[in-house]
Amino acid sequence: MTRTVVITGAASGIGKAIDELLESRGYRTIGVDVHATDIIADLSTPEGRAKMVAAVKAECPDGIDGVVACAGLALAEPKTVAVNYFGAVATLEGLRPLIKVNAQSRAVVIASVAATMPHDDALVDACLSGDEAAALKAAAGKEDLIYASTKVAITRWARKHAVLPEWAGAGILLNIVAPGVIHTPMTQAIYDDKAYLEQIKQMLPAPIGRYGEPEEIAQLVGFLISPENSLMVGQMLYIDSGSEAATRGELAW
């Protein structure tokens, strides 16, 4: 039987690679993005999130088998909070009632190795409170910490909710993928600026000698969203060229 999976951020980068991989494996994929995919919706707004949920309901009246919350921004502005945290939560919570309740239901949220980096606790707390207006206000003046803070917040949300009755208890296995530096349109500016790239390499070393490509992240997500992943729940999986292990060492796992 064909499995149906919704993928946000499917127009480019990691989301596109996931979409293409799952399609090649015979899945029916429903891509969501602001352009060039199946459902056009802006997840930075409540209206766009509601539009996405309604469109998925219309496309999949019999339900879906999984969801990958991949849409994200790395802008030093509050909109990143709206997409990376509130858009991801709205995707997971909004589509959860559509996920079939059986032993093969899966969900994945894309976080980042940036969740291990300096962040703003007040911004994280505002996100986790569910008060979007307060979170957007808390982001003001904290431009350098916004991205990492959103990834800390969504990781904490997923860890907390993955084990609840409506997720694990319903057979929906939710896990978190934390990529390192991946060559996507979002990171192209890093690759184009050789001096900045060298700074990134100092901050996020790559013991394997290189950073990654979207297709490599897709392979891990492909396993997590599949029935073959039968026991993993609420796990944060780093796929980052060894950056997290190199920077945090043996006492963090």
The token pair that represents 6 in the structure block: 């919704």
Nearby residues of 199 by Cβ (< 8 Å), 6 or more positions away: none
DSSP strand pairing (105-110 vs 172-179): parallel
- 6 phi and psi angles, rounded to 5 deg: -90, 135
Closest to 242 measured CA to CA, from 197, 210, 202, 194 = 210
| Catalytic position from the list 27, 147, 211, 238 | 147
Nearby residues of 11 by Cβ (< 8 Å), 6 or more positions away: 31, 33, 34, 35, 36, 37
Q: What is the DSSP letter of 206?
A: -
Active site residue 147: yes
The secondary element (H helix, E strand) that includes residue 57 is helix 46-59
Nearby residues of 186 by Cβ (< 8 Å), 6 or more positions away: 13, 72, 73, 74
Q: How far is CA 195 from CA 8, 200, 202, 250, in A?
A: 32, 9, 11, 30
Which of the residues are catalytic?
Answer: 147
